[in-house]
Amino acid sequence: MPIKPVRGGPPIPVDSPADVAVLIEHLARGDREPEWLGDHFAYLAGTRPEWFRPYQEQVVDGLLDRFSVALEDQCQLFAGAPDSCVETLARRLRDRRDFDDASALAAIGTPAALTAVAEDVRNGGDRELYDDSGFWIPPTGPAQPRFSPQRRAVFLELGDFPDADHPVGLPVDRVVADPASSPVVWHYLSLRLAGVPGLPSWPAERAHLVAPAATYEWTMFAGAGADGRYHGEQVVHDGEPDDFTDAPEFGLGRVVLRPYGPDLVYTNLHVHLTPGLVGTAGGPPIGLYPNPSCPSCKRLMFHVLTVTNTVREYGHGPRSLYLCEDCHTVAVTATNWN
């Protein structure tokens, strides 16, 4: 069974619309642990989110407070919810700030919902909450999702793959324009951007997740040329530099992208315990940390992927890749395990 609740008892099947009706009954009665239900809803989001559609209004109307579901899964389940849901959430937000209402409103993602998100912020709502979740509020107009709703599970395969779409462990001189002066010392992976539907246009075929000699809590900005190589790298890091030793033969391979589906392991509201999985491409950023804004135009940068340092062991914690399609600028962020 791909659903592995941490607590609350063994899972129940989610193989038909009737099974989803059972989940909603449990949610309405409040007779199961919210996290137990949440793992089932995460599975539903990863497999048949359209089966949730008949319940969008019911959950928004009165069940959100015990709907324990991560934003990335809410974005699947609430996507395209009717304007009645938007009106309900916007009305409640006008009366009272509420994290659950704000998240659900953003997750709906329709023009009406994105307009309501922007109005919430301009009425004094929590801009940071939306920023951290990957929704940018421009000076005028509706909020903009700065991520693709289409998620791909990222799997690591070790070995020699000279023609890999998404290579792991390239020599640094393949990915930066001036290796002698670059702070980049480590290559995690290069992503062929066409492998993730819904990413913005980019001057090069691939973008690179790389690291300076620092273990965590740094951000690196760089420009990208038409050959994909980075230039003008700037590292923001408050900690001590790491005593880095290069290991050019270590951990070489590729990542492979697969759509979400019933073959992932859904536990503790995420899929990270799936064997071989190192992260997710597409979807919103993880939301626990501030997302970078473009140093040039200040727009919230577009989240491309987040993997853990285990993709090619160096440093600690999640590593995320962002880009600004207007300025041809990338950001790589390295947070610690929380």
Residues found near Zn ion in the complex (CB under 5 A): 294, 296-297, 324, 326-327
Per the CB < 8 A criterion, the answer to whether 81 and 108 are in contact is: yes
Spatial distance between the Cα atoms of 324 and 164, rounded to a whole number of angstroms? 25
Spatial distance between the Cα atoms of 102 and 90, rounded to a whole number of angstroms? 8
Nearer to Zn ion by C-beta: 168 or 300?
300
Strand partners, 270: 267
Nearer to Zn ion by C-beta: 52 or 147?
147
Per the CB < 8 A criterion, the answer to whether 317 and 290 are in contact is: no
Per the CB < 8 A criterion, the answer to whether 92 and 116 are in contact is: no
Nearer to Zn ion by C-beta: 257 or 300?
300
Q: Count CB atoms within 10 A of the CB of residue 288.
A: 9
Minimum separation from the CB atom of position 205 to Zn ion (A):
20
Minimum separation from the CB atom of position 294 to Zn ion (A):
3
Nearer to Zn ion by C-beta: 85 or 324?
324
Instruction: Catalogue the E-assigned strands of 193-295.
Output: 206-212, 218-224, 230-237, 253-259, 277-281
Q: What is the DSSP string of 9-38?
A: SS-----SHHHHHHHHHHHHHT-S-HHHHH
- Cβ neighbourhood burial of 299 (10 Å; 0-12, 13-18, 19+): middle
Nearer to Zn ion by C-beta: 246 or 326?
326
Nearer to Zn ion by C-beta: 27 or 324?
324
Minimum separation from the CB atom of position 82 to Zn ion (A):
34
Minimum separation from the CB atom of position 101 to Zn ion (A):
30
Residue 322's Cα: distance from chain center in Å?
Answer: 10
Minimum separation from the CB atom of position 129 to Zn ion (A):
22
Nearer to Zn ion by C-beta: 236 or 297?
297
Minimum separation from the CB atom of position 323 to Zn ion (A):
9
How many angstroms separate the most distant Cα atoms in the chain? 63
Minimum separation from the CB atom of position 89 to Zn ion (A):
30
